Amino acid sequence: MVSTPKVIVVTAVFAFVLLFPFIYNAVGTGMFSEVKRPQVVIEKSGQCIKETGYMRKHHGDMLEHNRELIVREGKRDTVGLSTCRKCHSNREEFCDRCHNYVGVFPVNDYTGCFACHYYPKNKKELESARK
């Protein structure tokens, strides 16, 4: 008969060897470390046009909805991209940084909104466009 402690030790060693690749990967790929938030730059202090949590979730739909109001219904004073630009003038460090981080690419130079819409990437581009 094999003694009980021996069985436990052997089982434990066996389980460890079996699970080692999973444990190794989980630790190595940072499963237990906290996910860092993207470091977006907000130039102006104060409030967005709506509550921050709402903006975070709905700004995309908001812009698309407003486009219909502006272009199809002619309500030209509705909030559009040029409104965002007044406060978030650094697209690279705000819009792009978050989109790249979360992996949404609606807003890139080739296929996204800014293939057509003017929204300078950063201060340098904004200034050179003013000259």
Supply the DSSP symbol for 107.
S
Q: Count of CB atoms within 10 A of residue 114's CB?
A: 19
Least Cβ distance, residue 41 to ligand HEC (angstroms): 9
Least Cβ distance, residue 6 to ligand HEC (angstroms): 55
d(Cα 94, Cα 62) in Å, to the nearest integer?
17
| Single residue of 1, 18, 116, 129 touching ligand HEC by CB under 6 A | 116
Q: Which is nearer to ligand HEC, 28 or 46 (CB)?
A: 46
Name the residue among 52, 53, 49, 51 with its Cα closest to residue 66: 49
The answer to whether 111 touches 99, Cβ cutoff 8 Å, is no
Stretch that binds ligand HEC, among 10-18, 26-34, 111-119, 123-131 (CB under 6 A): 111-119
Task: Give the tokens for residue 14.
Answer: 């066996």
Q: Which is nearer to ligand HEC, 25 or 123 (CB)?
A: 123
Task: Give the tokens for residue 42.
Answer: 């907000």
**Interface with ligand HEC (CB under 6 A):** 40, 42, 44-49, 52, 55-56, 59-60, 63-64, 66-67, 70-71, 79-84, 86-88, 94-95, 98-99, 102, 104, 106-107, 112-113, 115-117
